[in-house]
Amino acid sequence: MPVRDDEPHSDATFSNVNPDTSEADALGGQSTRVIWGTNIAVQDAMSAFKNFLYGFATKYRLWADGATEDETRVMGDAAEEREYITMMNTMRQLGLISMNLDVRNLKAYPTTLKLWHQLHAYPQEIIPLMDQAVKDVMVELAMKEMERLRSRGQRGQLRSRNLSSAPAVPSSDAMSEAGRAPQPEIPDLVAEVETKPFKVLPFGLDSSVNMRDLDPAGTYDCQTRSLC
C-alpha cells in the first residue's frame, strides 16, 4: 500500500495470518533485556505496538475473520484504512485521552501476536507500555499536523502575494521587521499532547483473563479504565 515516506509501511501480506506462539516470539522482537519475571522486552513491546498503531488496517481483521485477499482488494480504500491513526487524530482534535483497543485486532495483526499473548499473561506490565506508546505516537502526529499547518500558511502567503494587484510597499502594520508578512500563529499542538495522560482501554480479551488483577485492592478507577 502506498504511504508517505515519513510513515511506517503497511506490513506485507502474510501467508499465515495466525502464526503459533514460537513464530509470534520471533515477530515480536529479539531483545534479551526483559522485565524481571516476564518475557516482556520493553523496547520490543513498545515498538511492536507503535507499529500496530501506524500499520493496522481494516483488512487484517477481515482476514482474521475469514475474508480472502481478493475480497479485501475489491473493497479498495475501505480495507486499507488506518483505523487507529484516524482514531488518534480524532482524539487529539477533541481533546480525548482514552483509546479503546479491540484486543482481537492485536491477534489479527501478525507482528503483535506476541503482544497479544503478553497482554493476557501480564496485563499489569503491558498496558502502561501501551499508554506510553500511544502518547509517543500522539506527539508524532501533533508534530506532523503543526508542520502541515505551517506549510499551508506559507503557501497561503505566497498565493496572496502573487494574486495581489497592490504595489509591494512595505507597511509597518502589515509587514514584519524582516520585510515579510507575519506568519500566522500556529498552536503548540505538541505541548497540548505532552501534558495529557493517555490511556488504553482494552476490550475483547479472552474470558479466562481476570482484568481485576490489575488492581487486587479493588480500587481500580472505572472512569479511566472501565474495568470495574
228 residues of the chain, pLDDT tens digit each: 344 445 544 454 444 444 455 544 545 455 557 776 678 889 999 999 999 999 999 999 999 999 999 999 999 999 999 999 999 999 999 999 999 999 999 999 999 999 999 999 999 999 999 999 999 999 999 999 988 888 877 666 666 666 655 555 555 554 444 445 555 677 888 998 999 999 999 999 875 555 555 444 444 443 444 443
Residue 171 lies in a domain: no
Domain annotation covers residue 2:
no
pTM: 0.69
Residue 70 to residue 67: CA distance in whole angstroms: 8
**CA angle, residues 166, 172, 175, in degrees to nearest 5:** 65
**150 found inside a domain:** no
Domain count for the chain: 1
Domain presence at residue 164 = no
Domain assignment of residue 157, yes or no: no
Q: Backbone phi, then psi, for 226, in 5-degree steps? A: 60, 40
CATH of the domain at 112: 3.30.1640.10
Q: Domain range holding 84? A: 21-139+197-225
Q: If we measure between CA atoms, which residue out of 138, 60, 131 comes closest to residue 92?
A: 138
